[in-house]
Amino acid sequence: MGEDKVRFSAPTPCGGSDDTVAIADTDHEKRYAELFRQLDLNKDGKVDISELRTALAARGLHQGGAEEIVLESDINQDGLLDFQEFSQYLQAHEKRLWFMFHSVDRNKDGRIDVGEIQHLFHKLGVAVTLEQASRILKSMDRDGTMTISWTEWRDHFLLNTFRNMEEIVLYWKHSHMFDIGEHLTVPDEFSEQERRSGLVWRQLVAGAMAGAVSRTGTAPLDRLKVFLQVHGSTARGINLWSGLRGMVREGGLTSLWRGNGINVLKIAPESAIKFMAYEQIKWLIRGSREGGSLRVQERFIAGSLAGATAQTIIYPMEVLKTRLTLRKTGQYSGMADCAKQILKTEGVRAFYRGYLPNTLGIIPYAGIDLAVYETLKNAWLQTYCVDSADPGVLVLLGCGTVSSTCGQLASYPLALIRTRMQAQATTEGKPKLSMMGQFKYIISQEGLPGLYRGITPNFLKVIPAVSISYVVYEHMKKILGVGY
């Protein structure tokens, strides 16, 4: 066979004189054949959609791309790809990638540098820092030159189904943040184009649905945590199983989900208020830096203030959630009855008991959660930045689980004191302790371990909560058309 060449019309590199650039790729069929061999897991000479999904998942890519590849390349509509169909798809896709590469390569030197990545984001209305652009570049730079060659670009995106630069930028830009029923992490950044297109609200809806299913799935563990937090020393002999059995004996199986209704109900207003507050606070912090990106510290401050704003507005729902979670059978007929009884016997101030430790707890939780998450994710990218700028599902789940655990360890004593203050009712006939009073009482009666009462079920719910959130979030994004 003679020399094979794939010719794509493209701008001439700086200093060149030809009208076209020929990509001499004498072994492109060999490359395609090797990739086909890797995908053909059962070695039957055909690649089906399940084999494609497996390959994409192994490379940290979204498995939904398998359907798009088959849809575009399956010429005879048999649901299987032979080598000829696969080769034709790859050649057409390489042509798209070639034009995208040269649209980013502004100085036409045949390489993409960090400044050109920054310019690309800016052109599409998304501000990124030099550090963020460098991380993206490093994830594709295999030869250590701090630039991206055509070969590196091609190999990196060969099994991605992106058709334009907007899709690639959105893929780079968005990370997964998970709601596990505690404080929500710092909100994502959105461009003007994304706001106008309604992407913001579709993403918020997807996140709210993920949070609702996740909280419902882990509600029994959450109720046990609250029970142990409030009853403290009187619950010392209670372990995980005996606690759950006791709740079932007292009120039946459905009693394990007491308080879950309002816990789910408050997701939507909290998310919406936090997002709107975050946008306003971010605008105030940015000031005269028009179009500038916030630094990590500034995002943390904006996120913490936005979280405090949202918590201030929806805090009465937090108190109702605690009271409904701890209620005995027949104590309240529902949310409205619970609110009415609290208002009648304890007054309006009861709806803000525990507000101070709750607000203080946002800072260590959000700060440590964000810092650990970003540190772990970036460390992984710098060490294993070969396959994708997206670390992949398992890495993101691992980072989210570890960062959430660290955040909870730092903020848990404040969360425990908040819950005890929320649970205080005048009918108990006991003095109402302040935040410091609760702290001193717990230390004197239960010692330091008392500040971490109930943390075991809290940790046990992290992995299932994060996993459920991820699965539901991805499915909701597809339904709402948010997936990239």
Q: In angstroms, rounded to a whole number, what is the distance separating the alpha carbons of residues 382 and 39?
A: 27
pLDDT digits (tens, 9 = 90+) for 442-477: 899 888 888 988 888 888 887 888 788 878 887 887
Q: Is domain 33-174 classified as CATH 1.10.238.10?
A: yes
Predicted confidence (pLDDT) at residue 317 exceeds the cutoff of 90: yes
User: Residue 318 corresponds to which amino acid?
Assistant: E
228 vs 478: which has the higher pLDDT: 228
How high is the pLDDT of residue 387?
47
Domain chopping of the chain, boundaries: 33-174, 196-480
Name the least confident of 97-106, 107-116, 218-227, 238-247. 238-247
Structure tokens at 385: 């930045």
Residue 168: closest CA among 399, 374, 388, 391: 388
Distance CA 49, CA 64 (A): 10
pLDDT tens profile 51-108: 888 877 776 666 667 777 888 888 888 888 888 888 888 888 888 899 889 889 988 8
Return the bridge partners of 50, or none: none
CA angle 115, 118, 122 (to 5 degrees): 135
Please determine, for residue 437, whether its predicted confidence score (pLDDT) is greater than 80.
yes
CA distances from 343 to 182, 332, 337, 426 (A): 26, 13, 10, 11
In 239-253, which positions are buried (b, 16+ CB within 10 angstroms) versus exposed (e)?
eeeebbeebeeeeee
Q: What confidence category does residue 338 fall into, taking pLDDT thresholds of 50, 70 and 90?
A: very high
Q: Cβ-count burial of 359 within 10 angstroms (0-12 exposed, 13-18 middle, 19+ buried)?
A: middle
Instruction: Give me the pLDDT at residue 20, please.
Output: 38
Residue 223: per-residue pLDDT: 92
Degrees, nearest 5: CA angle 458-444-356: 55
pLDDT score for 407: 81
CA-nearest of 309, 207, 305, 323 to 263 is 323
Q: Alpha-carbon distance 389 to 136, whole Å?
A: 6
pLDDT digits (tens, 9 = 90+) for 102-152: 889 988 899 999 888 888 877 766 666 677 777 788 778 888 888 999 988
Task: Between 194 and 471, name the one with better pLDDT.
Answer: 471
Q: Which band of pLDDT confidence, cut at 50, 70 and 90, is reported for residue 297?
A: low
Are 441 and 159 in contact by the 8 Å Cβ rule? The answer is no
Across the range 265-273, mean pLDDT stands at 85
CB 319 within 8 A of CB 351: yes
Do 364 and 415 form a contact (C-beta atoms < 8 A)? no
Given this model, what pLDDT does residue 216 score?
A: 93
**Residue pair 119/136 in contact by the 8 Å Cβ criterion:** no
Q: Is the pLDDT of residue 352 over 50?
A: yes
Q: Among 10, 34, 33, which residue's Cα sits nearest to residue 21?
A: 10
pLDDT digits (tens, 9 = 90+) for 168-182: 776 676 543 444 445
Q: From CA 330, how far away is CA 129, in angstroms rounded? A: 56
Cα separation, 372 vs 365, in Å, equals: 11
CA neighbor of 156 nearest in space, from 399, 390, 483, 397:
390
Backbone angles phi and psi of 47, in degrees to 5: -115, 120
- Per-residue pLDDT, averaged over 340-357, amounts to 91
Per-residue pLDDT band at 413 (split at 50, 70, 90): very high
299 vs 368, higher pLDDT: 368
Average per-residue pLDDT in the chain? 77
User: Which pLDDT band holds residue 313 (cuts at 50, 70, 90)?
Assistant: very high
Q: Are 55 and 160 in contact (CB under 8 A)?
A: no
Nearest Cα neighbor of 443 from 406, 421, 410, 417 is 417
26 vs 169, more confident: 169
How high is the pLDDT of residue 1?
39
Q: How high is the pLDDT of residue 390?
A: 56
Class of domain 196-480: mainly alpha
Return the H-helix or E-strand segment holding 455: helix 455-460
Stretch 151-180: mean pLDDT, rounded? Answer: 71
Lowest mean pLDDT among 216-230, 363-377, 388-402, 463-477: 388-402
Distance CA 387, CA 381 (A): 10
Residue 15 pLDDT greater than 60, yes or no: no
Residue 27 or 474, more confident: 474
pLDDT band (50, 70, 90) for residue 380: confident
Distance CA 202, CA 476 (A): 9
